[in-house]
Structure 1
Amino acid sequence: MFTLSSLAENASLGLRVLVPGPPGAMDEPLDWVHNTELPDPSRYVRERELVLTNGLWTAEVTPAQFVANVRGARAGGIVFGLRAEMPRTPDELVKACEQAGLPLLEISMEVPFTAISHAVSGLYTEQRQQALVGMVRRGDALATAISRGAGASGVLRVLTRDHDLPLAVVDRMGRLLAAAGAELDDEQSLIVAAGLARRPPALELRLRDGLAALYPVGAVGDVDAALICLRPLSALTPIEREALEQAAKFLSLEVAKQQAVQAIELRFASELLEMVLSGAQRAAEVAERLRTFGVDPTGPLAVCAVAFADEKGPTAHGLAEVVGEFFAREGVPSVVAGGTQDVVGVLTWRQPEHDLARLAESLVQSVDKRFPGSRSVAGLGGIAPHSAELRQPLVHAREACRVLRRSRGGPPVRSFVELGTHRLLLGLVDPATLRGFSGDLLAPLREHDARRGSDLERTLRTFLDHDGQWAATAAALHVHVNTLRNRLTKITDLTGRDVARTEGRVDLFLALTIDAMG
């Protein structure tokens, strides 16, 4: 691009500025020049073009009409070429340009319009050469930054040396990896992550302060992060866009490198779980692997298993990243491994066991915040005195997590001992079989309640919640004991299970528990 100022400063053109236009008009970027003598050139003149004319249209339209037509085409200005028949620029044209706020320059008879075309071509050539030189220089600087381990922050530092742009790098998990002149909060980072998840990824997003340009950063066949510029695409110059695209390619190298390291760590961590489950025969390997991750194998260790209850969350790898970040942020030495159904964390733990439950609750909240719309659960397996005793806590944590995943509601964090033996046993049975048992047993009650408007199912739940105590149940339901007795008799008739006998209560209790588990 070029400007009127750059042309006016070219002494060989001999241009004289008659109307500079509004403030800044002389420095507005222009795309090209257009030579015309048409009375109405608006159909052919493009936006931000400079109109060159000798005024041969004066016999057909007034200067005011011609200027209006040029202005309507959103041209960048007019250069009026003097000729023998018109040795000076018409005053009417000067006045019309002043009123329209359209820059007007004058060129002498001795200088042809082609001189302006050649000058503009020269400017474009020079700019392109500068852009190519800048791209090569910037490429060298970006490669140096990556090779020296400067990471995403180093890439942004290289960019901001040449371009004053507010920049940030956000990955597909909504984590802010680096920033330079831009501030993104958690909510905005999650908006970027959602934009990356689209197919194809968004190229522009609306954040709190307006539109932002998004340059996807791909690694191994997928979009894993984005270079964000907190300006709309329309506000970026071609040179700025090229620089951002180039930086995004170098960021791909950095993301690929990080992914390779994470994949190795995840594989090593997953092997640790296999070692623990192998028992005492691999105890020495377990201890050595824990030391590799900075976890003391000689001290007390806790195991926490995390999963998504709705099975709609990200991959185990994505969840493992978030869990690992959480423990690192809390200052808890840990090894985090992703399994097929859950993510397991083995932690150094020298605090009371009830504090572990509070940490797990914070973990679940952090995961749910990172993945809106998902519900996560965490199972705790207890404390092992040292690494050789990790097998039982690991098994217990995963079993507790498995039971919680199948529960439709209730607390998201439970330890193995809190769940109760019946829940753990139910976790071992085929889900379809359990749902069939529960549905068949409770169906008569629900049909009766729907048909008669009765309240038998709630009565049964309240009766069992109050350990079969008649007076307490009647009080909770706000009914007379005789009314309660009649309802329980009806429940016995409909289900074939006598609520007065332990065997009948167990069946009904299990049916309600399975129903709550979903």
Structure 2
Amino acid sequence: MRSSKPADPAATTADPRPEGVTIVLLQDVLDAPELGIRLLHGDAAARTLPLHRACTTDMPDPTRYVSAGSLVFTGLVWRRAPEDSEAFVAHLARAGVAAVAAGEALFGEVPADVVDACARHGLPLLAVPDDVPFSSVIEFLTRRWSGARMDRLQTGLARQRRLLAAFADGHALDELLARVCREFDVPAWLFTATGTLVAGRDTIGEPVIDACCAIALTAPRLPAETADGHTVLPVGAALRDRTTAWFLVLGAGAARSEDCVDAFTELATVAALERVRREDRLRAVWDTA
């Protein structure tokens, strides 16, 4: 009898991905019948965790070989005694991995102490059948990630065409910014490098503006985040002369959504056109004067 009891297979949830948002979830791995992977520990929320990459390791201290948001595959070779499980899982939890996928080939099952350690650290645990190589699961994920990237590209191109068409039809930049803010429920503002507000309808404090301007002028590369989580995006070729550039600032936490950042990056392209148009208009006034 197996000592590791799988989670309730009926505890599934509706797909949490908004329409048009392309990410790979832990549920996608569980839903693949050809893999036969089971959830040994994890609640309904665990099934909706996004997976950003896959890592394979059997080092007792896996910290150097894993990264945050990854699904970690392990054959349990590191386990020489039950107490080894606590140390291994604790390392993974501190690294911020999304979940662990343990192979059943070595012990014929995932030992109960591994399940218990994952439960203590709140780390979702999957069981990979002994006849399913890790390479097959990673190939499955790679195909899903490739498809998600292609979907994101197509979605981004379609959104950018809509924004450019609306801009060409005379819609104001402030209106287009408000439209994207409503779509992702994220506040955003368009600033000059000196902190002058160009577009944006939400309230923002002076200290936040100062912090965003400092990041915009000094960060080695953009996008960049402030200490309180605001994201600063460049508008056009902002790195050439930052002192006269425009910057798009997203509300705290927005950088955690790649689709959200993509959408505002596309809006930044439209904002760059508006900036050029204003400069041309000002130049024409100077020439006339």
What TM-score range do you get, normalising by the shorter chain?
0.7 to 0.9
Q: Is 1:33 matched up with 2:54? A: yes
Larger radius of gyration: 1
Residue type of the alignment partner of 1:167: A
Match of 2:41 in 1: 19
Aligned pairs, how many?
262
CA deviations on 1:141-191 (whole Å, 9 max, x unpaired) are 1211221121312431453365332112233564433225x2236x46973
Q: Is 1:2 matched up with 2:24? A: yes
Q: Tell which deviates more after alignment, 54-63 or 243-252.
A: 54-63
Equivalences for residues 253-268 of structure 1 within 5 A: 253-268=273-288
How much does 1:140 deviate? 0.6
Match of 1:65 in 2: 87
Q: Is 1:103 matched up with 2:124? A: yes
Alignment partner of 1:169: what SS? strand
Match of 2:233 in 1: 215
CA deviations on 1:212-266 (whole Å, 9 max, x unpaired) are 2222335897534222212267x43333333333321221111111222233334
- Consecutive unaligned residues in structure 2, runs of 5 or more: 1-22
- Consecutive unaligned residues in structure 1, runs of 5 or more: 271-518
Residue number among 130, 149, 155 corresponding to 1:134 in the alignment: 155
Distance 1:259-1:76 versus aligned 2 partners, 3 A rule: same
How much does 1:104 deviate? 1.0
TM-score by length of 1: 0.44
CA deviations on 1:267-303 (whole Å, 9 max, x unpaired) are 44x3xxxxxxxxxxxxxxxxxxxxxxxxxxxxxxxxx
Equivalences for residues 82-97 of structure 1 within 5 A: 82-83=104-105, 86-97=107-118
- In 2, the alpha carbon distance for the partners of 1:107 and 1:10 equals 12
Alignment partner of 2:100: what SS? strand
- More relative contact order, 1 or 2 (CA 8 Å, 6+ apart): 2
TM-score by length of 2: 0.74
Residue type of the alignment partner of 2:233: Y
CA deviations on 1:35-88 (whole Å, 9 max, x unpaired) are 2333333332233322222323333663333323433443322212223x6333
Residue number among 214, 225, 246 corresponding to 1:225 in the alignment: 246
Distance 1:63-1:171 versus aligned 2 partners, 3 A rule: closer
Identity %: 24
Residue number among 40, 49, 67 corresponding to 1:46 in the alignment: 67
Alignment partner of 1:47: what SS? coil
How much does 1:120 deviate? 0.9
Structure 1 or 2: larger helix share? 1
- In 1, the alpha carbon distance for the partners of 2:253 and 2:211 equals 14
Do the aligned partners of 1:172 and 1:196 also contact (CA within 8 Å) in 2? no
Distance 1:39-1:195 versus aligned 2 partners, 3 A rule: closer
Equivalences for residues 350-389 of structure 1 within 5 A: none
Match of 2:271 in 1: 251
RMSD, aligned α-carbons? 3.4
Match of 2:185 in 1: 164
Do the aligned partners of 1:174 and 1:192 also contact (CA within 8 Å) in 2? no
Alignment partner of 2:200: what SS? strand
Match of 1:242 in 2: 262
CA deviations on 1:428-477 (whole Å, 9 max, x unpaired) are xxxxxxxxxxxxxxxxxxxxxxxxxxxxxxxxxxxxxxxxxxxxxxxxxx
Q: Is 1:81 matched up with 2:103? A: yes
